[in-house]
């Protein structure tokens, strides 16, 4: 029986390369994307390149609780389990925007949405199988010091770095929580990947960014390799709670592996999750308020 892998944001860039690699390895691949026309074109290309017809596109907008719930419902109408979840999708935007659910948009897409998606899917990872969750973090997490009380106040690069730091911290927490369920959780630093994510459409910013970052850029195919490795290699089958770079685990310094902040972040996410459970008949969840 084919193993089933969900890859968010797999219509282009690293996500598309990841979906192609999994299709080549004969996984059934679920492309969870917001841009359906682009995703459908990418899906056709992946099927043609891999010879694997079990590649499917589903609508998913990680900034919307309603969309996340609808994605899970649609997925479960067609599949009875999941083996791999790769939370790849990510954004950065110049604009400060609050989503309909009350979250800063970058935080919503990069870490809050993936957490909710993960928790909704956890019951469908079967005990006794090789189950893996891979979360995309980044080296930029080192600029992501944050306060929970201000988590939805940051914007642009600061919000992006906070979201990637939060994704690393919550990965470490979920690894502890889900270990007994037979699910591994690991975070990945893909490197500085040449993708559309850093395009602001403000020519001066884009020009400066490209000049500064050009020596560091790697192509999406190379950037995807660590995530693919952690998702599929037998070498990491039972490894959990690690941070990978260039297919190797790297230590998270004590400065950034703050236990108190990890606990506080988990409690914040659990408040959101609790609201979701209480309001299952409603698509509207409001961000927790702070005194």
Catalytic residues: 160
Whether 48 and 21 have beta carbons less than 8 Å apart is answered as no
Query: From residue 138, how far is each of 9, 25, 91, 166, 186 by CA, in Å?
Result: 16, 26, 13, 11, 13
* C-alpha torsion sign, points 245, 249, 250, 251: positive
Residue 27's nearest CA partner among 80, 84, 76 is 84
CB atoms within 10 A of CB 131: 23
Residue 165 CB partners (closer than 8 Å, separation 6+): 137, 141, 142, 144, 145, 146, 256
Whether 107 and 152 have beta carbons less than 8 Å apart is answered as yes
């Amino acid at each position: 029986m084919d193993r089933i892998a969900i890859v968010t944001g797999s219509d282009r860039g690293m996500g598309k390369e990841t979906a192609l690699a999994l299709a080549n390895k004969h996984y059934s691949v679920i492309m969870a994307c917001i841009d359906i026309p682009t995703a459908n074109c990418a899906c056709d290309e992946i099927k043609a390149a891999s010879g694997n017809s079990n590649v499917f596109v589903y609508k998913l907008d990680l900034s919307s609780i309603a969309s996340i719930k609808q994605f899970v419902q649609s997925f479960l109408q067609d599949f009875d389990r999941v083996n791999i979840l790769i939370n790849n999708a990510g954004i950065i935007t110049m604009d400060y925007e609050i989503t309909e659910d009350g979250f800063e948009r970058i935080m919503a897409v990069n870490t809050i949405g993936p957490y909710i998606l993960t928790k909704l899917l956890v019951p469908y990872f079967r005990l006794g199988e090789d189950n893996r969750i891979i979360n995309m973090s980044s080296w930029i997490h080192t600029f992501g010091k944050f306060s929970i009380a201000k988590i939805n106040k940051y914007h642009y690069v600061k919000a992006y770095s906070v979201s990637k730091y939060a994704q690393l911290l919550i990965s470490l927490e979920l690894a502890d929580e889900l270990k007994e369920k037979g699910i591994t959780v690991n975070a990945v630093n893909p490197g500085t990947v040449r993708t559309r994510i850093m395009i602001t459409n403000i020519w001066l910013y884009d020009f400066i960014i490209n000049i500064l970052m050009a020596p560091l850029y790697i192509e999406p195919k190379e950037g995807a390799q660590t995530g693919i490795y952690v998702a599929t290699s037998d070498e990491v089958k039972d490894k959990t709670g690690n941070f990978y770079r260039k297919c190797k685990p790297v230590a998270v310094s004590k400065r950034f592996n703050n236990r108190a902040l990890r606990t506080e972040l988990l409690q914040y996410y659990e408040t959101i999750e609790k609201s979701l459970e209480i309001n299952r008949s409603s698509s509207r969840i409001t961000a927790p308020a702070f005194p």
